[in-house]
Structure 1
Amino acid sequence: MMNRKIIVITVILIVIISAVISMEITQIGHSNTHVHTSSSNISSSVTEPRSNISTTESFSTERDAIFIGDGAPAYALLKMKDKIYALGGGVAVIFSEDLSPLCYAKLKYNIWKAEKYDEDRFVSMQQWYSLPGSIAMFDSELNLIWSVDGNFTDFRVANNKIYAIESRSGFLESRNGSYYLDIFDGNGNLIRSFKALDVKEIAGRTVIQYLLSIEVKDGKIYVPYVSGEAEGPYKLTLLRFDEQGNLELKKVIYEAKENMDRTYIYSYKDGLLLAIEGPICRYIYTDREGNIVGKAGWKPPLEAGFRNCWGQAKVLNDRVYVFGHDECLFAGFVGLVDESSLYVNEYNESMYYTRVQEIVLQKGGTWQDNSVVYDILSDGDELYVIGIVQMSLPSGAFIVRVDPDLKVNINNLLEQADVVYLEDIPPCKS
């Protein structure tokens, strides 16, 4: 009799435990319920004060990749105080180094780009559908310190200052406007402002061509832009100023019949690296005088005569990484330039070889479409990559952690990645 009672009690306990586990799985699974967040009031520069960023033990599993569900940040990566910050779309999610989500916050600021100012602060710029916006500084706990309204198209942090390029024409409202270079101190005070060039000097065939980029190297300010007639040929022109606003260099460094869209510029070793968007899709190395010393590229596939790429670059540990979006495949890509290997392209140009991974993956047996890689971050022996995939269910941002040589197949990591929603992550305490 006693054995029968024990058996009955054991069965009841098993049933109760199974029911509890089933409830927990139901709460964790979100196959039909999504949280949709948006960057409301993005014109406002105010974010709710926060302090004492919390951590949680709920996501302590070490990961190599993770998806954050609908409305998640996908545009910028930072590392501050041993934490990884994913930013964009009016949302910020803070991770530990092993990609365990710690907390999230909603910001009244649509961050498109961010750079660390010091160990406690970072500078950001908002952009909305390729339109320029304001710049702002936040602390490591996501409190807004200051913001400056304007049509800023790019900025750089250097020499304890913020260098920004701004359209003073109301942006695309008039071809008679001008671009100015503004220099701010760490408190957001304007130190100096001077005109860089007139809007009418830009080829101006597409909106993206008006989004000028900026780089600062050894006290010199560099700005590239595309000039020429709307039908071509197109000329990539480089400007160099000193900090007093004196123009030291204006030089055409590259010319092509194919259209050149936005050009990004970065410091590289003793010179510069320029990444050109559009059909031309080039990565050009120059010295400080604008003389070409090398070119890098990769081959987006041809499809019905159409070829295009949205391609940025970053110089991390003296190595050049390229990333962006291949419009032929509707797929994001990330690659590493190999300067020990050359090939000759169809235009008879000698180019450095670039090994590229396309983000084309299946999730749950379903092919996912239209991915973009927006930013990368180097952290010692690891490289973090952030982007977005228009997944069938869910659609969301991804972060993947790989080796700096990109030897790991990113698609395999993403196919196995967990999907976590903002509602599953605790808010950063206020």
Structure 2
Amino acid sequence: MMNGKIIAITVILIVIISAVISMEITQIGHSNTQVHTSSPNTSSLIEHDNSTTLSTTGRDAIFIDRKDPKKSLDVPQYAILKIKDKIYALGGYNDEGVAVILSEDLRPICHAKLKHKLWRAEKYDEDRFVAMSIWYWYSETLAAAGSNITMFDYKFNQIWSVNGNFTDFKVANNKIYAIEHRGNSSYLDIFDGNGNLIKSFKVLDDEEIEEGQQYSLTLEVNDSKIYIPYISGNVTGPYKLMLLRFDEQGNLELKKEIYVTKEPEGVEHIFSHKNGLLLAVSSSSCRYIYVDKDGNILGEATWLPPSRNGCWAKAKVLNGRAYIFGWDPNLFTGYVGLINESIYAIYLNESIYHAKAQEIFVQRNGTPQGNSLVRDVLLDGDKLYVIGLVQMYPPSGAFIAKVDPYLNEDISYLLERADVIYLEDIPPCKS
């Protein structure tokens, strides 16, 4: 296992995953957990006169770029939400955060600058959302980073914030459940809607986890049960995919070995799916594992890349459908897909599903442009919103596309004819 010095430098390894394209290099430290109620995070808040909206014409896709090439990554590229009939695109880069509010037909309304970039976000209720932000601190002798769990209202007022080294969180049962790494262990913290810590208990020690995986723990909450998958094993393998189940009092109810593999893996997401759990697994191939609540395998799906040279896999379960998205390292493009559980691979003697997936890539004059990735998806009625990042000349920056939720549309075509909007031309949100 890693020694104390390395741990102090490398907490929140999820930052590396977030920067596959943008090449972020992060050294990480830890700060004690505490609640803050001040609101220094915005330079402008929301209440905007629609008469200054950039365009009255809706569209199916847009790029949000920066006029300054040095700020091409300071765009809302990470998370997408819908609050009060508006689309919220969230993101930023390094220690600068940015958010853009759009209409349902992707007309930009206003933008807000934030204290930190927002890496993940979930809606709490009709007026508030919870986000995990990542921060960095540099000096001539020290570089450090961490992550916060923060609640905002729909005007981007910061209601409360908790400092820590968080790797994942979920909103459920009017509470916020978060995985935090402290010292040589990972803990499950439960907060109420006011940011008060209700319960905190240890879920795993570093020595139980395969080296390099200990700061990427993810969780799911279902019927007041907390599920945490992890990879166990030393650096040379073999590796075990394990599943933990706790009640809200911290009692361990299940510690299950799902399977053993010879190749290193990582679990990017875990979600409730039908009567069980969906685990999105990154390895030499992309796949999800569908297990029951006791960790018994019910099915498995494989998808891109076909050459099996590596995968960054993410997933969301929306309206009972399992969406997959991420980055294909073979084509240097992001993709979004939908698992089709009705089609089986007949030639395999196990339950392997095919996945219907589209590559997200930008075309200029019919030529695909690489360096893109999909960060998040949002299902709203009969439309699926897709958000991600493209780096090319031009357009570049964040993209948002509105597509058929069954992925019957040509997403590449939508991106090719997308409007290019510069963040500097979007009016600031007003308080």
* TM-score normalised by length of structure 1: 0.83
Residues 19-418 of structure 1: matches in 2 within 5 Å? Answer: 46-48=40-42, 50-55=45-50, 56-69=52-65, 70=72, 71-89=74-92, 90-127=97-134, 133-169=147-183, 177-204=184-211, 206=212, 210-302=215-307, 307-343=309-345, 349-363=350-364, 367-418=368-419
Q: Is the 8 A contact 2:331 2:370 kept in 1?
A: no
Cα deviation digits, residues 4-46 of structure 1 (max 9, x gap)? xxxxxxxxxxxxxxxxxxxxxxxxxxxxxxxxxxxxxxx9973
C-alpha distance in structure 2 between counterparts of 1:103 and 1:386, whole Å: 17
* Deviation (angstroms), 1:261: 2.1
Query: Structure 1 residues 223, 405: closer, same or farther in 2, change over 3 A?
Result: same
SS of the residue 2:424 aligns to: helix
Q: Once the 2 structures are TM-superposed, how far is the Cα of residue 342 of structure 1 from its aligned partner?
A: 0.8
Note if contact 2:285-2:304 (Cα within 8 Å) is conserved in structure 1: no
CA distance in structure 1 between the partners assigned to 2:428 and 2:394 by the alignment: 24
CA contact (8 A) 2:45 2:155 kept: yes
Q: What one-letter code is carried by the residue in structure 1 that aligns with 2:317? A: V
Residue identity matched to 1:229 = N
CA distance in structure 1 between the aligned counterparts of 2:318 and 2:291, rounded to whole angstroms: 18
Q: Secondary structure at the match of 1:210?
A: coil
Task: State the 1:343 CA deviation.
Answer: 1.1
SS in 1 for 2:415: helix
CA distance in 1, matches of 2:336, 2:134: 22
> 1:125-162: per-residue Cα shift (whole Å, max 9, x none)?
01369975111000001111110000000000000000
In structure 2, give the amino acid aligned to 1:68.
Answer: I
SS in 1 for 2:266: coil
Greater CA radius of gyration, 1 or 2? 1
Contact 1:53–1:141 under 8 Å retained in 2: no
Once the 2 structures are TM-superposed, how far is the Cα of residue 393 of structure 1 from its aligned partner? 2.3
Q: Distance in 2 between matches of 1:127 and 1:329?
A: 28
Give the total of aligned pairs.
375
Deviation for aligned residue 1:182: 0.3
Question: Residues 223, 54 of structure 1: CA spacing in aligned structure 2 closer, same or farther, 3 A cutoff?
Answer: farther
Aligned CA distance change for structure 1 residues 299 and 52 (closer, same or farther; 3 Å): closer
Instruction: State the 1:365 CA deviation.
Output: 6.2
Kept in 2, the 8 Å contact 1:368–1:392? The answer is: no
| More strand as a share of residues | 2
Find the counterpart in structure 1 of residue 28 from structure 2.
none
Q: CA deviation at 1:338?
A: 0.5
Structure 2 counterpart of 1:371, which letter?
A: S
Amino acid at match of 1:180: Y
Q: AA paired with 1:383?
A: L
CA distance in 1, matches of 2:351, 2:133: 37
Q: Distance in 2 between the 1:299 and 1:83 partners?
A: 32
Amino acid at match of 2:130: V
Query: 1:261-312 CA deviation, whole Å, 9 max, x = no partner?
Result: 243100112110000112142201111111111111114032xxx6111111
CA distance, structure 2, for counterparts of residue 115 and residue 324 of structure 1? 19
Aligned to 2:16: none
| Cα pair distance change 1:184/1:53, threshold 3 Å | farther
Q: Distance in 2 between matches of 1:426 and 1:213?
A: 36
Instruction: Calculate the aligned-residue CA RMSD, in Å.
Output: 2.0
Counterpart contact for 2:58–2:105, Cα < 8 Å: yes
> Which residue identity lines up with residue 76 of structure 2 in the other structure?
P
Q: Which amino acid aligns with 2:81?
A: L
Q: Tell me if structure 1 keeps the 8 A contact 2:45–2:156.
A: yes
Q: What residue ranges of structure 1 are gaps of 5+ in the alignment? A: 1-42, 170-176
Q: Does the 8 Å CA contact 2:99/2:112 hold for their aligned counterparts?
A: yes
Query: Partner letter of residue 107 of structure 1?
Result: L
Amino acid at match of 1:370: N
